[in-house]
Amino acid sequence: GIGVLYAAALATHPRPEFPSQWMMVMSALAVTALIVGTFASKVRQDADTLNFQALHDSLTGLANRALFLNRVDCALRRAEGREEQVAVLFLDIDDFKMVNDSLGHPTGDQLLTAFARSLDSLTRDGDILARLGGDEFAVLLESGPMPQTAEDVAVRIAKMLDTPFQLGDTEVTVGVSIGISVAPRSQGTCEGLLRESDLAMYLAKQNGKGRFETILPG
């Protein structure tokens, strides 16, 4: 502030002989303060950008695996002793490799981005949506009766996919296999919940794709 600049000016020129000296010193210090402040702001912005990039998928902007696992772990701790259970939906686009091979990787990336946007439009406030890698996505739910709430979301996703994605001049229709796992009311772990949702997704693949399977706590 002005007080700091004034004190700095006194320290620099304790006995100024001319008012112009004050003006020169104050101007120089003001420019220095502006440069330092701008640099500090840029450093903070760069740090925020790096932090965002470390926790989000670069293609879709969704949470990445690391952030999703953190959110699941936090949700499980919050759920201890509560009636509501935590559930995870593990999604894998059916035959995505065929889209990539036949239409090319740029179109495949467009499909992933469009799919992410559509999923985001279906989620509620408080739900966490992530891209885990490749064509694998996940949704964390921690409110509502389970497994009904999670299965309702899976049905809405299937209905959403009835409409083809318009990717430039190409229409692409895909299905998705979904695995649902519900955490036990106590002693649930992030790793266990993700592992069971992944297993449920593979069961959906084996049972015909374009469907969901649910694994309830034992």
Burial class of residue 29 (count of CB atoms within 10 Å of its CB; 0-12, 13-18, 19+): middle
7 phi-psi bin (left φ>0, alpha ψ -120 to 50, beta other)? alpha
Instruction: Report the C-alpha gap between 195 and 132 in whole angstroms.
Output: 13
In sequence order, what are the residues at sequence separation of 6 or more whose Cβ sits closer than 8 angstroms to the Cβ of residue 49? none
Alpha-carbon span 45 to 57, nearest angstrom: 19
Q: Is 135 considered catalytic here?
A: yes
- Out of 57, 94, 135, 198, the active site residue is 135
- Give whole-number Cα distances, 85 to 37, 101, 155, in Å: 47, 40, 19
Q: Would you please indicate which residues are annotated as catalytic (active-site) residues?
A: 135
